[in-house]
Amino acid sequence: MSVAIRSAAFAAAALLVGAILFPVAFALLASLSPEAQLFEGTAAWPAGLDVSHYRALFAERRFWMPIRNSLVVAGATTLLCLGIGASCAYALARLRFRGKAPILGFILAVAMFPQISIVSPLYLLLRALGLINTTPGLVLPYLTFAMPLTVWLLVGYFRQLPAELEEAARMDGAGVLRGFLLVMLPLALPGLATAAVLTFVYCWNEFLFALAFTLGPEQHTVPVAIALFRGQYQVPWGQILAAAVVATLPVALLALVFQRRIVQGLVSGAVKG
């Protein structure tokens, strides 16, 4: 590769990284700026660091409540998706039975279904079950869209695992369930990490169901709480930006910690699935 091509590729990568990081850096700096400075056109360059927005966020807004709700809902949905989706994906990828293709097609169709079109029926169903404004009332609807994502990711990953390992386990006397739990599941950890992170991020950022199926601040998740921020006379942009920074930290840290496993899981499932 010539020097000119390398320089052009480096410049393009630098521009892309800059375009991605600029909104994040602007939100961080603006959240540390005084409220008056946000409307002077110099919010990106604060004269001094001001943490009053963060202080008000937790002291007045009690922002720890939506963070707790989002962690509980996203964590529970992720665990259920991995527990149920991994076994389902293994069966679709490794076992022989009729109707596998239609089942995969149905799972994909559910994942592509527009959320807005089923909000009303889901609301009526959850209300009849007494699950409106409850944690299970969010986890169950989240499963309908997060589970297909988990299954599709893990089907591709299980397919690329060597079949000789299963045969060796069966020769040693292991049944299908034991071979899955002791042999295949440990080998699928990169795929499981990928599915877990993507599912958690989806649930953490989900807005429509959380807005429709929660009625008060005690059950609001992070996106809904930020969207409903109101001031007495104006929109508290400083607190909104501070909340956006706080809400971004968990998913950013999660992606950084599991970066290698996410890339490995996505590439393995895509190339060899």
Work out the percent of the chain whose per-residue pLDDT is above 90. Answer: 26
Same domain flag for 121 and 152: yes
The beta strands (E) that lie in the chain are given as none
On whether residue 141 sits in a domain, the answer given is: yes
Structure tokens at 61: 């807004």
User: Domain of 151?
Assistant: 60-272
Say if CB 170 and CB 163 are below 8 A apart: no
Query: Does the pLDDT at position 138 exceed 90?
Result: yes
pTM for this prediction: 0.82
Structure tokens at 207: 């807005």
Same domain flag for 41 and 153: no
Range picked from 183-192, 203-212, 246-255 for highest mean pLDDT: 203-212
Lowest mean pLDDT among 46-60, 88-102, 146-160, 257-271: 257-271
Per the structure, how many domains does the chain have?
2
pLDDT, average across residues 90-112: 83
Same domain flag for 132 and 12: no
Query: Does the pLDDT at position 204 exceed 90?
Result: yes
Q: Tokens 């299980």 label which residue?
A: 158
On whether residue 23 sits in a domain, the answer given is: yes
On whether residue 55 sits in a domain, the answer given is: no
Same domain flag for 218 and 92: yes
Q: How far is CA 253 from the centre of its chain?
A: 12
Same domain flag for 11 and 88: no
Same domain flag for 20 and 64: no
pLDDT, average across residues 174-181: 77
* H or E segment to which residue 145 belongs: helix 136-159
Helix (H, G, I), strand (E, B) or coil at 179: helix
On whether residue 181 sits in a domain, the answer given is: yes
Structure tokens at 1: 């590769």
Around 209, how many Cα atoms within 13 Å sit in the side-chain half-sphere? 28
CATH code assigned at 190: 1.10.3720.10
On whether residue 3 sits in a domain, the answer given is: yes
Residue type, 105: G
Confidence of residue 270 (pLDDT cuts 50, 70, 90): very low
Q: Distance between CA atoms of 240 and 132, rounded to whole angstroms?
A: 27
Same domain flag for 257 and 154: yes
Say if CB 253 and CB 67 are below 8 A apart: no
Same domain flag for 37 and 142: no
What is the 8-class DSSP label of residue 36?
G
Query: Does the pLDDT at position 176 exceed 90?
Result: no
On whether residue 219 sits in a domain, the answer given is: yes
Same domain flag for 146 and 192: yes
Around 263, how many Cα atoms within 13 Å sit in the side-chain half-sphere? 4
Structure tokens at 209: 């169901």
- Domain end, chosen from 12, 31, 50, is at 50
Q: Distance between CA atoms of 244 and 252, rounded to whole angstroms?
A: 12
Structure tokens at 203: 């649930």
Q: Distance between CA atoms of 216 and 213, rounded to whole angstroms?
A: 10
Same domain flag for 33 and 125: no
On whether residue 262 sits in a domain, the answer given is: yes
Confidence of residue 165 (pLDDT cuts 50, 70, 90): confident
Same domain flag for 41 and 65: no
Provide, for the chain, the percentages of residues in helix, strand and coil under a 3-state DSSP scheme, each rounded to the nearest 5: 75, 0, 25
Lowest mean pLDDT among 49-63, 173-187, 203-217: 173-187
Confidence of residue 160 (pLDDT cuts 50, 70, 90): confident
Tell which residue, 206, 193, 196, has the closest CA to residue 142: 206
Same domain flag for 141 and 20: no
